[in-house]
Structure 1
Amino acid sequence: MKRGLFFLLSYCLISGLIAQEVQWKEITTPVKASLRGLSPVSTTVCWASGSQGTWLKTMDGGESWEHGSIEGLDSLDFRAIHAWDDERAIVASAGSPAVVYKTSDGGKTWEKVHEEAEPAFFDALTFLSPNRGFLLGDPIDGTWMLLETYDGGDSWQRLPISPPAAEGEAAFAASNSSLLVNRNILVFGTGGATSNLHLYSLNDQYWTLFQGPLLQGAFSQGIFGLSFVQDGIVAVGGDFEKPDSRDRTAAVFKNQMAELPNRFPSGYRSGIAYWKQKKLLIAVGPSGSDISLDQGMNWENFSATGFHAVKVSLDQKSIWASGSQGRIGKLISK
């Protein structure tokens, strides 16, 4: 018992010191949209998207930005985006119409590559490789909507098997991090009546359901963001109607079990990212940002600045965040 207490106190001391050594560099952008779509490519190239049909891109680390409204669709909220480089990016809307647009010329023009009939609602978009990607949508007639592409998003089709949704179960288009994929599995997290983790074996084509211990039971509660870590998957969320509450705002899934952290993030968290190079987790939400050095078992707050989404760049050399009022952040060490 004494040894365990000593370890916990030592960890808290070390993580507290680390939290004092990192901070967000807030970057001024020319837009005031709510930015829930974020896709950094490198330390210099980053794309974002959000409300009012907004897209924006920097190629010089945030010193200057190109921006616009996708095909004049200023009534749509593009909460999911994936960029391959400074020329190619793809976005998906949250709401009606449920559409997917792609640019191959750096945002100068956007082509509609997919549209779903009502009442479809897209929640998240992710890619396994430059050509193969996946798109998650809210349940229709009791079944989750899952689409896949094999040609870089130029065409989309339904996944061969989609899991059923429990009554009152929902997904959240909060940060484009509720859907993950690696070479073996496709994973998405849910909330509402129940917080679940749905895992799909890409090789064997079957679904496995894990019930999560995060806050659940109301439409505003559940899993909002997921990240692979070395030993499993870390989920963050809570209750977006209670942004300062620490009640069951995270969980760690490993070895076919779910475990609650020893120390929770300091409020509802909508986005999460794991920086493998430095072995640290960052979680963000409207009340601030938290860091974990032990793959989600203990969290320490390091900023009161609110963000919706957080992502590690494709080259694994930087972490970016996005939020309301066109807010963009880049993680730096003091």
Structure 2
Amino acid sequence: MKKLLPILFSFLGILTFSQQVESLTTILSDKISIRALELYDGKVWYSGTDSKFGFVDLKNPQNQKQIKLSEEKLQFRTLAQDKDSLYVVNIESPAYFFKIDKKNLNHQLVFTDRSKAAFYDAFHFVNEKLAFAFSDTDDNRLKLTMYKNGKWSFFENEIKLNPGEAAFAASNTNIASTKNYLWIATGGKASRILRLTFKNEKFEVFDTPFIQGESSQGMYSIDFVNDKFGVVVGGDYTKQDANINNIATTNDGGETWQIQASGKNTGYTTCVKIKPNSKGKEIISVGDQHISYSSDFGKTWKKISDEKGFFVCKWVDGNRVVLAGKDKISLMKLKF
């Protein structure tokens, strides 16, 4: 029996990490930095630098279109959608909120934030009638622009951020939601979870054991599969090989977090996405230097690609992932 155990464990290890990259195909090449993606009508939609916005057809990548939303060289790091339109807001002040019609790409300016500290890190639709955009602030208060029932406003709250606590506009994914909750992951001098309960419109704040304390450290991306299970990733963009306390999961809706694979993962990542219909078991994470995968609820991770320059990812279906970053959008097919 003792001789069989190593063979058995080896076999189980193969089953645990049986996924492989079957193909990784570039479907858009351009002089652009892309940190936000959405999927609609068989196309991947993107926003990026130099006011660029567009789409690429996933089945026929030659079917693609790009427009500029402004004559100014705005940097877009956000993208969100409802049934009929897509929305973007640029980083830096003044922050312009654009609405783009999905059918004809006609666009209009729908809201402007002229505060000096405006710097929007993420934009997220909870449902067709409710969306939130998260911005840096000049008074240590949590700043959220809210779209509710067709109207734009600033969401009133009493949450105060710690000195040096902010967020990273790295992949438009430091906000996640379910029907009942919205979660925001902060970073920097403090890296905490802010949870909004929709029923009473109240925020709760939870400390985390995530790496924090420096402006470059903390949680960069968050994803939830239901009201209970979620995952966060990040690290330190100035020390991308560092892999201590840079991945965590929760089983109680973000109230407590368990560090996973500390010292045993491939380092800093900027976007994490749970595979559809996997109930949180299978997760992909991308960063500037690699693509990693977990098939055991984030407990262990395997680097599946050394491809560099990706900042954001999104599942297309059960075995395809679209990725974007520096000068490209790519479609990855996984083999299980």
Q: Name the TM-score, length of structure 1 as normaliser.
A: 0.88
Moved over 6 A (4+): 5-10
Q: Which amino acid aligns with 1:191?
A: G
Q: 5+ residue gaps in structure 1?
A: none
Q: Which amino acid aligns with 2:138?
A: I
Q: Which amino acid aligns with 1:57?
A: F
Aligned to 2:211: 215
Contact 1:53–1:76 under 8 Å retained in 2: yes
Aligned to 1:226: 222
Contact 2:274–2:282 under 8 Å retained in 1: yes
- Does residue 1:158 correspond to 2:154, yes or no? yes
Contact 1:265–1:283 under 8 Å retained in 2: no
Contact 1:101–1:110 under 8 Å retained in 2: yes
Q: Which amino acid aligns with 2:172?
A: N
Aligned to 1:121: 119
Shift, 1:326, TM fit: 2.5
CA distance in 2, matches of 1:13, 1:304: 20
Q: What does the per-residue CA deviation read over 1:285-331, in whole Å, with 9 as the maximum and x for residues that have no partner? A: 00111111122111111011131011234x87853211111333334
- Does residue 1:241 correspond to 2:243, yes or no? no
CA distance in 2, matches of 1:266, 1:317: 22
Contact 1:46–1:61 under 8 Å retained in 2: no
SS in structure 1 opposite 2:77?
A: strand
Q: Structure 1 residues 7, 222: closer, same or farther in 2, change over 3 A?
A: farther
SS in structure 1 opposite 2:78?
A: strand
SS in structure 2 opposite 1:29?
A: strand
Structure 1 window deviating more from structure 2 (256-265 vs 176-185): it is 256-265
Q: Tell me which of 202, 206, 212 is aligned to 1:206.
A: 202
The total of aligned residue pairs comes to 323
Contact 1:136–1:145 under 8 Å retained in 2: yes
Q: 5+ residue gaps in structure 2?
A: none
Aligned to 2:132: 134
CA distance in 1, matches of 2:137, 2:197: 20
- Does residue 1:294 correspond to 2:312, yes or no? no
Shift, 1:109, TM fit: 2.7
- Does residue 1:96 correspond to 2:93, yes or no? yes
- Does residue 1:171 correspond to 2:167, yes or no? yes
Shift, 1:8, TM fit: 8.3
CA distance in 1, matches of 2:99, 2:320: 25
Shift, 1:9, TM fit: 6.7
Shift, 1:272, TM fit: 0.8
- Does residue 1:46 correspond to 2:44, yes or no? yes
Aligned to 1:311: 314
CA distance in 1, matches of 2:299, 2:11: 14
CA distance in 2, matches of 1:83, 1:198: 23
Contact 1:41–1:84 under 8 Å retained in 2: no
CA distance in 2, matches of 1:8, 1:36: 39
Q: What does the per-residue CA deviation read over 1:243-300, in whole Å, with 9 as the maximum and x for residues that have no partner? A: 2222222111223321111365411000011112244211000011111112211111
Q: Name the TM-score, length of structure 2 as normaliser.
A: 0.87
Shift, 1:62, TM fit: 5.3
Aligned to 1:15: 16
Shift, 1:203, TM fit: 0.6
Shift, 1:13, TM fit: 3.3
Aligned to 2:186: 190
Which of 1 and 2 has greater Rg? Answer: 2
